[in-house]
Chains A and B, each alone.
Chain A
């Protein structure tokens, strides 16, 4: 296990260095931040001054090297726009996004798993067909359109829920979160539904397929031959088997939820990193963009590591091979 983790950490460092290089070059290619940072009538002297102060006068490889050395010391540069360390700008916004993402993921599990099990145990019935047809809407209707419809129905027509912002933020067990106040929860509902619809649909289909593939297997028949109840068979024998693909998908989807959050956060004016990154790309705020992507990559790597470790808990056959 230790060797496994060391290997994974080394891989992670390599991936981080490569991504930083790609992103650095990519953002460099987009354009010159000076065009946006300076007034159009700025003098050449002013230009040279700002350029030197941001380190933009040096050739690109030198700039990258400088960035890498600083990054190893935990310094990802200062945001051109906010004039504060890029990493602290991101970490300030990250909790809002993570909260939204985790809520959406939890919702997709809480709704998707039971519906998938329900449909899976009743193949080709009205229940199954309705759930499956309904789930098609979940991931085929465009994300942004779903968001706008939610706002139109629940905020504009019915006026039940607020459509923008994060609302009042309370404190629960010392953590600042939207769940700390009723106003915060109300603000959370629509964006969380918007973000979770596609995931819920995916979860339903994955669970249903898993159940339908597992039910005809011999071990289910044997479990019946031993007199086990259908409930025990479904919730222990079948569930533990289909949890392996489900955990994989959750791992992958958690990452893409953070990415999808860009759309949802823009529609609902949610003050998270998704909105920050769109704004930063607009003004070519290179340190923020690069730091954001590195944070996301780190998140992906961490999730994958957790998923791999979870596998070995779920599937004993993997455990004995790793030993």
Chain B
């Protein structure tokens, strides 16, 4: 069942130097119990996509076009009060570094209890019990005591567990996780990933996992969406996309992963750099870096849909025209 449907989303930033099209026509859906991996380089617009859904864009960012439907409700038309009521309750968000996102001068307990109070009437004792249970659920030892601790008294991995516990407080329908394990050691990262995987399966919620790490997404997500320069260049079920990428950028991302490389050979890389946001090429944004580009790539690109997969490329790999 479709939980979130984003269609033709455009989020632009009007600046004195021009319009930054951070997200420029992105469409995807997330179903209940499904994990969507949103992959791309920094600046590709993946975090802005997440903030657009929650209505948390910093000025001058603005959703200028497209629709966002959550459980059938049009979020673009929703009032500020309605969005506030949804945030943290039906749609939760996990950020990259809880050291920066948890308030350093308030205890974990205070910050969890206030999140409970933001969405339901409860006594202080009930709210505290909910917070304690949520901490216990994500594997934090002695949760009752830890409620009175401050963020700096937790290790990085434990802090991220706290953030996940806060996200789970109201058993949301959708969680948007923005690079939540990027700052962690690999061992801690895999612990958190497996926790998240089982929680999603257990609670049947949808999850958007924003990451630049293909390896993590490969092991976690059901479907993968690759973003480049504000566009979705390829989307589909994880295994086919990673085994037989259609878009040259996806191919480039995969071969840039050191693990895919044969030892001793120089690492492959995508030549050039991502285009500056104010000066993106006409047509396919990837063409200046693409080995397959020709004159036709400078025209507006149409989307090709084949089965569960889709891509935006005139010269898809492994497809004979």
Contacts and interface: CB of A to CB of B under 8 A. Distances in A.
Interface of A: 216-219, 221-229, 232, 236-237, 240-241, 314-317, 320
B58 A227 contact: no
Contacts of A219: 100-104
A111 B241 CA distance: 62
A228 B54 contact: no
A216 B106 CA distance: 18
A320 to B, nearest CB: 7
A240 B86 contact: no
Nearest to A241: B105
Interface in B214-250: none
Interface string B243-269: 000000000000000000000000000
23 contacts: A216-B58, A218-B100, A218-B101, A219-B101, A219-B103, A221-B58, A221-B95, A224-B87, A225-B54, A225-B56, A225-B95, A226-B87, A226-B88, A227-B85, A227-B88, A227-B115, A228-B88, A228-B115, A229-B118, A232-B114, A316-B105, A316-B150, A317-B104
Nearest to B115: A226
B56 A228 contact: no
A101 B315 CA distance: 78
A211 to B, nearest CB: 15
Nearest to B95: A222
Given A227-B85, A240-B106, A320-B153, 19 more contacts: A217-B100, A218-B100, A218-B101, A221-B56, A222-B101, A222-B102, A223-B103, A224-B84, A225-B87, A226-B88, A226-B114, A226-B115, A227-B86, A227-B115, A229-B84, A241-B105, A315-B104, A315-B105, A316-B105
Interface in B100-128: 100-107, 114-115, 118-119
Contacts of B93: 222, 225
A227 B87 contact: yes
Contacts of A221: 56, 58, 95, 101
Contacts of A226: 87-88, 92, 114-115, 118, 166
A242 to B, nearest CB: 10
Residue with the greatest number of chain A CB neighbours at <10 A, chosen from B56, B93, B95, B103: B103
B16 to A, nearest CB: 14
B89 interface: yes
A218 B178 CA distance: 13
B242 to A, nearest CB: 30
A232 B118 CA distance: 9
Residue from A217, A226, A236 with most neighbouring chain B CB atoms (10 Å): A226
Nearest to B178: A225
Nearest to B100: A218
Contact of B88 (A225, A316, A317): A225
A218 B183 CA distance: 16
Interface of B: 54, 56, 58, 84-89, 92-93, 95, 97, 100-107, 114-115, 118-119, 150, 152-153, 166
Contact of B105 (A224, A227, A314, A320): A314
A23 B101 CA distance: 51
Contact of B103 (A225, A229, A237): A237
Nearest to B170: A227
A223 B93 CA distance: 10
A237 to B, nearest CB: 5
Contacts of B119: 227
B95 A228 contact: no
A237 B106 contact: yes
B118 A240 contact: no
B103 A241 contact: yes
A29 to B, nearest CB: 49
Nearest to B97: A218
A227 B89 contact: yes
A310 to B, nearest CB: 13
Nearest to B149: A316
A225 B83 CA distance: 10
A181 to B, nearest CB: 42
A223 B54 CA distance: 12
Most chain A CB within a 10 A radius of its CB, from B56, B89, B106: B106
B100 to A, nearest CB: 4
A85 B179 CA distance: 71
B56 to A, nearest CB: 6
B176 to A, nearest CB: 9
